Amino acid sequence: MGIGSWLGMVFGLSIPAILLMYLLKRKFIDTLVPSHLLWERVLRNIEANRPWQKLQNRLLLWLQLIVAALLVFALMQPYGWVSDNVKSHVVIVADTSGSMSANTDDLDAEGENSNSELKRIDLLKSQAKDYLKDHAKSSEITLLSMDSEPKIVISREKNHKEVEEALNNLQPYYGKAAYQETLSLASALTTDEQDAEIIVFTDTQWKGDTEGISFQVPSVVVDIGASPLNNIGIKQFGVQSNSTGTIAVAVLESMTDIADPIEYSLYGDEQLLVTQNTEFQDGTATIRIDNLQDAEVYRLEILSKDAYQADNISFAFGSNNTTSKVLLLSSGNFFLEKALQLTGVEVTKMVINDSVTEEGIKSEVGLAVSSPPVPGDKPDLIVIEGVIPPFITQGDWEKLLSDTPLWHIGGAGKEVNVGGEKAILHDHAVTQYLSLSNIYVGVILETDVPEWGDPIVEIGGKAAIYAGKESGHSRLSFLFKLEDSDLPLSAEFPILVNNAVSWLSNEEGYGLGRVIAGASLDIPISVEVTKAIWIAKGGLALASGIEPIAADQGTRGYNTIQKTPAIPGLYAFEQQDREGNKTSYWVDVTADPFESDIGEKTALSFTQQISETTGDMEQNDVRNAKVEEGKVPMSLMWIVAAVALVIILLEWGVYQRGRSI
């Protein structure tokens, strides 16, 4: 039994008030007696002044005190614990975030745990099913899970076989889970309901503050995975190629201090390169491995066992050592051509004459043609200086341009004099290591703002350089002519060109990098693609045996912005055109780093807008424990009030019989 409001104790002052009234009251009975009894009357007169004598044999007094005590007790809102068979609607919030995939030493519903691979989410399913069988047999069940957005798995389902099947199908979501949003949805689903309850099954590794979440129905948090666990994860991993070879660097992190060294292995294209041990200091360990053989994909794997597997494997992609091919269309710019060559690319130049761009083009050897053929070897990058020739927007050239990174310098447009104003640089790969503080640019071309880009350099309040992606391919645009500035004469010009080439040709490497599960990724997709899928190639994704996942499509074909799969691991994004030609990009999908801290616990606190849940912290803890046992509070106030009413009627009967004195 519990008390809903201790403020009712204030009315307990009525009890001593009743006693005081009886103590101060003097009552006598006029009785005719013989004269020899006068002495007895004197004695009784003396006894009438003794206060405590007045409390003897006063049935009416005791009845009044009992009624007062019962009314005070009723005002304290007492409640008792009964079996939970009264809620018509139960909302189950299942924490399906990545940390729920951790192994647990907790006991199951039978008080056993013979399975060393029992995961928190398995324990969640077991406890949720037991709750349904024991305490919600006739209830409607709504099941919510956490993905990138709140997910209503089932809604007001009375068939508990369907509910159990839905529970069995729950899987951890390794991306950024919608913690707060899911609770807000649970609150909205129970707004204005009088007979509902919210049960949150979670490991209490919670992101965000729950104090702003308000529930209008009773709620309870069931802690899954309370046993302390340790996790060793790969925090960072990358490879870099230089003149001496390829270097791998990684940072490992542990939740607790580890005395013994841990073992790891490094693979290159699935061939074992090295197996070593490393020791931790202050919870971290740094790994560096030199002189690695070239590979497309490097895999680092922690061999020592821990409770959380999602961060034990990480992938990195090697550099494409083939020489990039650049197609330069220009009327002739010695500085630009030499700067391109300094980057190490292979430059193929096609000379265009601004005066004859509407009529034709001349190749470097002087051959005049109206529309030159598309190069046999597809370039990795196209650089156009000056006005874009008309043939570029037609036929095979248009297809090539739409499917290749493009750098356009100058062109046509209204000239705006900026008079050598100082350049303002925005953070971007093209502008790194640059200041452009002593660069003079006299004229900026005013054109329509490209939909694909954002300004990365501004001069005189005008955008001078745009960068972005179109259909998944990089685009860079200089809205000024090189001859209208002294940029080619600057020492920063080769650096700028190298940055531009590196950024534009980056998509031609082996991989698209590392991204969190469920996040969006810009992927180069050709307009000729008829089929695109995600294929698991390594890590947890491959071990889980997931089938190929179809790429996101829109009304105009495959979207260049793709949502990555929900399970971490190595994926190949494979594309196929009408002729059956296939191209693929490597993507390392990782779990949300927040989920790696599986030992972190957060005390969840909700705002309860119901009278039964008022009280101190200790009382609320007891209440939560009772609900976990399958019990719910039932108010005893009306029962106590009914008993008080019966005693009042009894008191009236006593008064009528003259027993008041």
What is the structure's pLDDT at 385? 92
CATH class label, 232-317: mainly beta
What is the structure's pLDDT at 322? 66
For residue 521, give the 3-state DSSP assignment: strand
What is the structure's pLDDT at 406? 93
Query: Which residues of the chain carry a pLDDT beneath 70?
Result: 1-15, 17-61, 81-86, 106-116, 242-243, 320-322, 353-370, 506-510, 608-634, 651-661
What is the structure's pLDDT at 449? 85
> For 519, how many CA atoms within 13 A lie in the half-sphere containing its CB?
17
> For 37, how many CA atoms within 13 A lie in the half-sphere containing its CB?
6
CA angle, 251 then 256 then 257, to 5°: 80
Short-list 306, 180, 176, 286, CA closest to 232: 306
Number of neighbours of residue 461 by Cβ within 10 angstroms:
10
pLDDT tens digits for 224-234?
877 777 889 99
What is the structure's pLDDT at 555? 85
What tokens were used for 452?
């694909």
CA angle, 622 then 628 then 629, to 5°: 90
| Superfamily per CATH, domain 350-355+376-505 | Class I glutamine amidotransferase (GATase) domain (3.40.50.880)
What is the structure's pLDDT at 88? 86
CATH class label, 89-107+117-227: alpha beta
Same fold for the pair 232-317 and 350-355+376-505: no
What is the structure's pLDDT at 366? 41
What is the structure's pLDDT at 21? 63
Write the DSSP string, 94-145.
E--BGGGGSB-----TTS----TT-BHHHHHHHHHHHHHHHH-TT-EEEEEE
Report domain extents, the chain.
2-27+40-77+636-658, 89-107+117-227, 232-317, 350-355+376-505, 511-590
Give the strand order in the sheet containing 89-94.
150-157, 140-146, 89-94, 196-202, 219-223
CATH of domain 511-590: 2.60.40
